[in-house]
């Protein structure tokens, strides 16, 4: 099962999910002189990052919005980036955050679990209701795919809706998490988790242990580390026996070369060093 493969990768390579949210402005200026198009420059940059880091990260998360914003060239670069990651046999998360119902959701499932944009996991938004997830379930059950469902996100605006309480005093994100957690009961792999994971930000330390205990079937995708204030010791609260979650970092790794003003290292060397630093920092707090 894909969730068992993810669990094993974390055991071997640590918890880092490298976010290839590659904005054109992240690419060194002189890099564009070597390539004839924006697409070629973007793909070449991503490939060099991947070549330098694939053995020290658990997964790559590719945020589709950065590629959609560039039109057809961007979508072609997105596909080529996904293809290259698959060649490395690294687990691939398509950060697409789809959240619709019925036939539309069925087409989203087909788009991101088959064909040109195929990924191992994708991100989904369940806040229209659990019927947003139904068209994806056959892929979880029969086609070795998985998803990370938005539960409690790391942005400040999460409290606008996710923290509203029902009559029993339970917050919306807790109710959503409990409902999604149940879906995993018949899908669990040998690692004890199901293929339906949760996006749970690490910026609310006081809630970490409670979420980990309550969502016992769910593997976590954990944003909020670094720039948003989450620390390695916060991440540890969302894990169980040192596993059960991966931690996303995008800009901090992709732009690590900007913290090397004296030069002497390539951007991919700096990215590798930052990925290893992050991996080791998290492991040291377990």
Summarize pLDDT for 268-284 with one digit per residue, the tens. Answer: 999 999 999 999 999 99
pLDDT at site 61:
98
| pLDDT > 90 in the chain, percent | 83
pLDDT at site 230:
78
**pTM score:** 0.96
Please state the separation of Cα 248 from the chain's center in Å. Answer: 6
With a CB cutoff of 8 Å and minimum separation 6, the contacts of 218 are 151, 177, 180, 181, 184, 193, 194, 196, 197, 198
pLDDT at site 208:
84
Other CB atoms within 10 Å distance of the CB of residue 283: 13
pLDDT at site 227:
65
Q: Determine contact, residues 219/197, Cβ cutoff 8 Å.
A: yes
Q: Give dist(CA 182, CA 209) in Å, integer.
A: 19
pLDDT at site 228:
66
Q: What is the CATH number of the domain that holds 218?
A: 3.20.20.70
pLDDT at site 31:
85
pLDDT at site 6:
98
Q: Is the pLDDT of residue 153 over 80?
A: yes
- Read off the pLDDT of residues 51-108 as tens digits, 9 standing for 90 and up: 999 999 999 999 999 999 999 999 999 999 999 999 999 999 999 999 999 999 999 9
pLDDT at site 154:
86
Overall domain count for the chain = 1
Question: Could you tell me the residue range of the domain that residue 36 belongs to?
Answer: 2-284
Mean local confidence (pLDDT), 32-52: 94
Residues known to be catalytic:
97
Q: Give dist(CA 136, CA 12) in Å, integer.
A: 29
Q: Is the pLDDT of residue 263 over 90?
A: no
Mean local confidence (pLDDT), 35-61: 96
Q: Is the pLDDT of residue 161 over 70?
A: yes
- Read off the pLDDT of residues 210-241 as tens digits, 9 standing for 90 and up: 899 999 999 999 998 876 677 888 899 999 99
Instruction: Give the torsion through C-alpha atoms of 247, 250, 251, 253, to 10 deg.
Output: 80
């Amino acid at each position: 099962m894909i969730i068992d493969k993810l669990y094993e990768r974390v055991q071997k390579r640590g918890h880092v999910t490298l976010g290839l949210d590659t904005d054109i402005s992240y690419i060194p200026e002189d890099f564009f002189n070597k390539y004839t198009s924006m697409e070629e420059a973007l793909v070449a940059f991503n490939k060099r990052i991947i070549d330098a880091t694939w053995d020290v990260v658990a997964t790559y998360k590719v945020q589709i919005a950065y590629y959609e914003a560039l039109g057809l060239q961007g979508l072609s670069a997105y596909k080529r980036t996904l293809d290259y990651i698959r060649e490395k046999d690294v687990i691939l998360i398509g950060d697409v955050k789809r959240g619709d119902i019925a036939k539309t959701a069925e087409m989203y499932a087909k788009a991101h679990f088959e064909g040109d944009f195929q990924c191992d996991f994708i991100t989904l938004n369940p806040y229209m209701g659990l019927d947003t997830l139904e068209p994806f379930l056959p892929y979880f059950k029969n086609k070795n795919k998985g998803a990370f469902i938005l539960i409690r996100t790391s942005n400040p605006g999460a409290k606008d809706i996710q923290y509203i309480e029902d009559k029993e005093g339970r917050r919306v994100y807790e109710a959503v998490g409990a409902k999604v957690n149940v879906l995993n009961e018949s899908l669990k792999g040998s690692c004890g988790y199901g293929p339906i994971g949760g996006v749970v930000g690490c910026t609310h330390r006081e809630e970490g242990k409670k979420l980990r205990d309550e969502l016992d079937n769910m593997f976590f995708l954990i944003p909020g580390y670094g720039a948003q204030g989450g620390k390695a010791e916060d991440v540890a609260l969302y894990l169980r026996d040192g596993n059960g979650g991966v931690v996303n970092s995008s800009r901090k790794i992709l732009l690590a070369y900007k913290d090397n003003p004296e030069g002497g290292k390539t951007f991919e060397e700096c990215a590798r060093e930052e990925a290893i630093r992050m991996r080791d920092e998290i492991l040291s707090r377990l």
